[in-house]
């Protein structure tokens, strides 16, 4: 699993303590939980089901909490809500008072937190689809894959790859990628683009149970690598190098004359 190498605190299973996610506004400092803002409410069915045999871990709950950026120059606020479950700590050394703890499972963040930093060099339409993907991760994994596919479409738009043919019909993404790679001959980018396209298709044709958390997080990893390859400062150097190589090939062809 690629994402475990990064130790990023993204998972759909519960947290006993919410981690310090990175602020989506400044993308520099961590978010800290405002402990005073944490509110946990039992579901109506849990309230109705309480009787003398009731145990705390039978409760289903909903929680809401505010996360605050620790950067004094930012101070952004993120709202998080989700579900909560009481869990019993089976440890003989734990006191009765500390025997029970809440397991928090986030279901949404507003604004969404980011799995990786969205560099200003990335086109805004691409960043828009990535924000949608990051937001959907906590509640709808197939939608995440669809968003990642549309992010690739937005990359093709930014690179000037035709989206419609002479009959004004949409050109399939697979064909657009092929057209792009005819002039952008980079095997690494080609593999990443095709992998994200295929995983996006899987999201379109699968239900929630068929898309694993691991698939999604590894797709985020691939997208981060792809955007770094296409848009960071080294990408500009590579484009220049490709032009030099193409010009040299053209010069050799002209020098040798037309084929007989």
Provide the number of structural domains found in the chain.
2
Q: Verify that 153 and 37 share a domain, yes or no.
A: no
- CATH assignment of the domain containing 129: 1.20.120
Instruction: Say if residue 94 is in the same domain as residue 126.
Output: no
Domain co-membership, 147 together with 211: yes
Q: Is residue 178 part of a domain?
A: yes
Could you tell me if residue 12 is inside a domain? yes
Structural domain containing residue 62: 1-113
Res 52 pLDDT > 60: no
**Would strands 39-42 and 77-88 be described as parallel, antiparallel, or unpaired?**
unpaired
DSSP H helical segments within the chain, as ranges? 44-48, 124-136, 141-158, 173-183, 187-205, 213-231, 233-256
In the block, residue with structure tokens 């039992």: 42
Whether 53 and 142 map to the same domain: the answer is no
Model confidence pLDDT, tens digit, residues 94-111? 665 556 677 888 999 999
**56-78 mean pLDDT:** 88
Q: Is 238 found in the same domain as 126?
A: yes
Of 23-32, 176-185, 230-239, the least confident: 230-239
Of 81, 113, 145, which one is at a domain's C-terminal end? 113
Is there a single domain that holds both residue 220 and residue 232? Answer: yes
Residue 2: predicted pLDDT: 36
- One domain for residues 34 and 135: no
Whether pLDDT at 5 is above 60: no
Better-scored residue on pLDDT, 84 or 174: 174
Q: Are residues 76 and 161 in the same domain?
A: no
Residue 1 in this model has a pLDDT that exceeds 50:
no
| Residue with more model confidence, 96 or 60 | 60
């Amino acid at each position: 699993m690629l994402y475990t190498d990064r130790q990023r605190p993204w998972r759909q299973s519960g947290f006993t303590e919410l981690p310090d996610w990175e602020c989506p506004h400044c993308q520099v400092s961590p978010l800290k939980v405002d402990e005073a803002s944490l509110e946990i409410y039992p579901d109506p069915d849990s309230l109705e089901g309480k009787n003398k045999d009731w145990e705390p871990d039978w409760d289903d709950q909903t929680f809401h909490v505010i996360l605050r950026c620790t950067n004094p120059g930012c101070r952004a606020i993120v709202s998080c809500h989700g579900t909560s479950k009481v869990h019993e700590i089976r440890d003989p050394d734990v006191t009765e008072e500390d025997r029970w703890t809440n397991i928090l499972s986030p279901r949404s963040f507003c604004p969404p937190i980011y799995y990786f930093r969205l560099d200003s060099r990335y086109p805004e339409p691409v960043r828009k689809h990535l924000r949608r993907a990051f937001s959907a991760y906590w509640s709808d994994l197939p939608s995440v894959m669809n968003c990642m596919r549309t992010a690739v479409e937005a990359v093709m738009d930014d690179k000037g790859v035709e989206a419609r043919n002479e009959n004004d019909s949409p050109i399939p993404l697979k064909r657009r990628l092929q057209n792009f790679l005819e002039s952008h001959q980079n095997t690494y980018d080609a593999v990443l683009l095709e992998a994200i396209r295929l995983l996006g298709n899987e999201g379109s044709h699968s239900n929630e149970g068929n898309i694993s958390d691991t698939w999604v997080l590894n797709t985020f990893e691939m997208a981060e690598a792809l955007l770094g390859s296409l848009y960071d400062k080294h990408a500009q150097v590579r484009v220049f190098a490709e032009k030099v190589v193409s010009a040299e090939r053209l010069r050799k062809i002209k020098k040798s004359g037309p084929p007989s």
